[in-house]
Amino acid sequence: MFTDTEIKEKWFKFFEKHGFKRIEGYSIIPENDPTVLFTTAGMHPLVPYLLGAKHPAGNKICDVQRCIRTSDIDSVGDDYHLTSFEMLGNWYLGSCPKEEMIALSFEFLTSKEYLGIPKERLATTVFEGDETAPKDEVAYNAWKKCGIEHVFYQGKDDNWWALGGGVGPCGPDTEMFLDTGKPSCNENCSPACDCGKYMEIWNDVFMQYKVENAGEKAVALANPNIDTGLGVERALVVLNGVKSIYDVGIFKDVIDLIGENAGVKYSENDASKKCYRIITDHLRTTMFILGDARGVVPSNVGQGYILRRLIRRAVNCARNINYNTKYFADIIDMLIDNHGKDYHDLEQNRQFVKDELAKEVEKFSKALEEGHKEFEKVLFGIEKHKAFAAQKGEVVENVISGKAAFRLYDTFGFPLELTKEMAQERGYSVDEEGFKAAFEEHQEKSRTASAGVFKGGLADSSYESAKLHTATHLIMAGLRKMFGPQVMQKGSNITPERLRIDFNLDHKMTPEELETLEKFVNDAISQEVDVVCEEMSIQDAKASGAVGVFESKYGQVVKVYSIGNISKEICGGPHAVNTRDLHHLKIVKEESSSSGIRRIKAILD
């Protein structure tokens, strides 16, 4: 049986042998990208280099990247959906040697030293061509040269990659499939079918073109690239011949661990199986989010909202299978023991992950009690309305409104499934469409709020906002001087009128501490120090003492902003030219942002 560790080790051994340099995976919390909450694909953090920026590690790189897709949360529990996954990738930056990449793909898939798949079980697809770009005969012939018998031409829906909207870098791709041995559904059966005969295992994207304007024909890209992706979890299923990802590797290990203390066995029924899988998946994703170097904590907005939702769904499932949540810590330890080898921040943050998880579990357990009371109030209100309506000869159905169900979800953390289950026990149903509408309204408000954030947490690029951005660096320098280097920024929001900065601290700051901090910042302002920006590799930034999230030991080019010997941080900017432009800082408020996270609001006057 292949393990995830074995697949990753083989991947890096193979590509390093062929001249690719391994880089460490990036944070799953994107920097300066308000369009998404989490890193959703292996290529996501590398977009600047795919657009032409030079990578310090060279033009042939490979990595393993943890990714999160929140769209799959409600589907978790079946055989294959996950909220987090690992993507193996390798890249040619600035060149597109298709034949070479296809030959490498074939060797890795079929060589006995690596995955050892018989070539007779492989099928591949290539772009069939259209008005945008020609048929990819180069890829087709390369696969035939490797000895692959089943090579299918397919259209843009299946074998073309482009950025959202279809404008920008784009190109054909070639996808690799394993023939499962199932009979063909018809004489035209191909990997485009959903019959289950073919399972996708790998994808090579050839970014050869760009589209300047929507609807126009693609033109050659000056700096073409190759971007590949092999999903670790999908590969585990395919290579081990199992039906579900939960039947193999760390997923099976966690499920077995849960079974040691759960009151309901995994295979007892479909409902219990789903609960085991939700706990496994959601705690794994929780570990990735909390354990990330740029990690967030549970809250009611953005990434924190997703994290809170995952934890609460796991708690609810634990309740359904009579599993004591005190054992969540054991699951986290098992997960970090497995994944900490690839993502060193997980090991460093092991205790933080367990502590924050325990806090949220306790908080939700209390909320569950309050939620049950609120649920009874909802039913009481409906029964009262029914009685009043009956006096007038009217009939009121036993339906909990979508707004009421969403309030139970949003305020008390009740998953819709829990509300439906409790309602059914009492002879009620839930207006799921109304719930969906209320949920989408909430998401739209959240997206609108997120879209207002400029890079570095700035609402705009005005000089007033830039000055306040510089002030946040001075505040963080003061906090670290007062409380130690473990104090890190956990978020910010800056407008031309004020700044708001979140940071980890284990206590409410006293008036004396706030006065000391304010004096530190204003003393720095009075020194009239230039704010200097330098670009360097991340190794050099780390060696220079810059504070920041060190995403790759091989280094990406980063901007380092220095304010004399007061502050030195990795940051995207923009900033003031000189501290004298800040005039004077006044701290308006210090408060709790969330558990273990404090918030300071300040202005310049």
> Using CA atoms, how far apart are residues 284 and 467, in angstroms rounded to an integer?
40
User: Residue 353: what pLDDT?
Assistant: 95
> Using CA atoms, how far apart are residues 303 and 32, in angstroms rounded to an integer?
14
Answer whether residue 455 shows pLDDT above 70: no
- The band of 35, judged by pLDDT with boundaries at 50, 70 and 90, is low
> Using CA atoms, how far apart are residues 324 and 394, in angstroms rounded to an integer?
46
Answer whether residue 13 shows pLDDT above 70: yes
Of the two residues 122 and 368, the one the predictor is more confident about is: 122
DSSP 184: P
Query: Which residues have C-beta within 8 Å of that of residue 245, sequence separation ≥ 6?
Result: 79, 80, 82, 233, 234, 236, 237, 251
DSSP 195: S
Q: Which two tokens stand for residue 546?
A: 């810059």
Tens digits of residue pLDDT in 209-224: 888 777 778 888 888 9
> Using CA atoms, how far apart are residues 381 and 331, in angstroms rounded to an integer?
41
Of the two residues 294 and 266, the one the predictor is more confident about is: 266
How far does the chain reach from its first CA to its final CA, in angstroms? 65
Answer whether residue 553 shows pLDDT above 50: no
Domains, the chain, ordered by start: 4-245 (3.30.930.10), 252-370 (no CATH), 455-604 (3.30.980.10)
Summarize the chain as % helix, strand, coil (round to 5).
45, 20, 35
Answer whether residue 521 shows pLDDT above 80: yes
User: Residue 556: what pLDDT?
Assistant: 61
Closest CA to 307 of 298, 316, 315: 298
Burial class of residue 539, CB neighbours in 10 A (0-12, 13-18, 19+):
middle
User: Residue 296: what pLDDT?
Assistant: 85
- The band of 444, judged by pLDDT with boundaries at 50, 70 and 90, is low
User: Residue 32: what pLDDT?
Assistant: 59
CA distances from 120 to 14, 104, 111, 151, 153 (A): 22, 17, 13, 12, 18
The H-assigned helical ranges of 292-349 are: 302-320, 328-339, 344-348
> Using CA atoms, how far apart are residues 94 and 238, in angstroms rounded to an integer?
32
Of the two residues 367 and 124, the one the predictor is more confident about is: 124
Name the helix (H) or strand (E) containing 557. strand 557-563
What's the mean per-residue pLDDT of the chain?
Answer: 88
The H-assigned helical ranges of 392-431 are: 402-412, 416-425
Residues counted in the chain:
605
- The band of 229, judged by pLDDT with boundaries at 50, 70 and 90, is very high
> Using CA atoms, how far apart are residues 220 and 223, in angstroms rounded to an integer?
9
Give the three-class secondary structure for 451: helix
Q: Which two tokens stand for residue 190?
A: 């191909």
Q: Which two tokens stand for residue 498?
A: 């004020």
Burial class of residue 463, CB neighbours in 10 A (0-12, 13-18, 19+):
middle
CA distances from 62 to 116, 192, 224 (A): 21, 28, 17
Tens digits of residue pLDDT in 414-436: 778 778 878 987 899 999 999 98
User: Residue 104: what pLDDT?
Assistant: 97
CA distances from 421 to 253, 275, 378 (A): 29, 14, 15
User: Are 67 and 57 in contact, with CB atoms under 8 Å apart?
Assistant: no
Answer whether residue 452 shows pLDDT above 80: no
Closest CA to 311 of 301, 299, 302, 322: 299
Across 432-446, 470-484, 501-515, 544-558, least confident range:
544-558
Query: Which residues have C-beta within 8 Å of that of residue 345, sequence separation ≥ 6?
Result: 291, 292, 293, 295
Burial class of residue 447, CB neighbours in 10 A (0-12, 13-18, 19+):
middle
User: Are 236 and 228 in contact, with CB atoms under 8 Å apart?
Assistant: no
Tens digits of residue pLDDT in 190-208: 888 878 788 889 999 999 9
Answer whether residue 454 shows pLDDT above 60: no
- The band of 166, judged by pLDDT with boundaries at 50, 70 and 90, is low
Of the two residues 554 and 48, the one the predictor is more confident about is: 48
Q: Which two tokens stand for residue 355?
A: 């502590």
Of the two residues 35 and 488, the one the predictor is more confident about is: 488
- Cβ atoms within 10 A of the Cβ of 9, count? 12
User: Are 283 and 318 in contact, with CB atoms under 8 Å apart?
Assistant: no
In sign, the C-alpha dihedral spanning 273, 418, 289, 25 is positive
Answer whether residue 453 shows pLDDT above 70: no
> Using CA atoms, how far apart are residues 235 and 318, in angstroms rounded to an integer?
29
Answer whether residue 324 shows pLDDT above 70: yes
Tens digits of residue pLDDT in 394-406: 888 999 999 999 9
> Using CA atoms, how far apart are residues 594 and 504, in angstroms rounded to an integer?
10
In sign, the C-alpha dihedral spanning 289, 291, 295, 301 is positive
User: Are 73 and 309 in contact, with CB atoms under 8 Å apart?
Assistant: yes
Answer whether residue 33 shows pLDDT above 70: no
Span 137-151, average pLDDT: 96
Answer whether residue 18 shows pLDDT above 60: yes
User: Are 266 and 276 in contact, with CB atoms under 8 Å apart?
Assistant: yes
User: Are 178 and 199 in contact, with CB atoms under 8 Å apart?
Assistant: yes
User: Residue 450: what pLDDT?
Assistant: 44
Tens digits of residue pLDDT in 232-290: 998 999 889 898 999 999 999 999 999 999 999 998 888 899 999 999 999 999 999 99
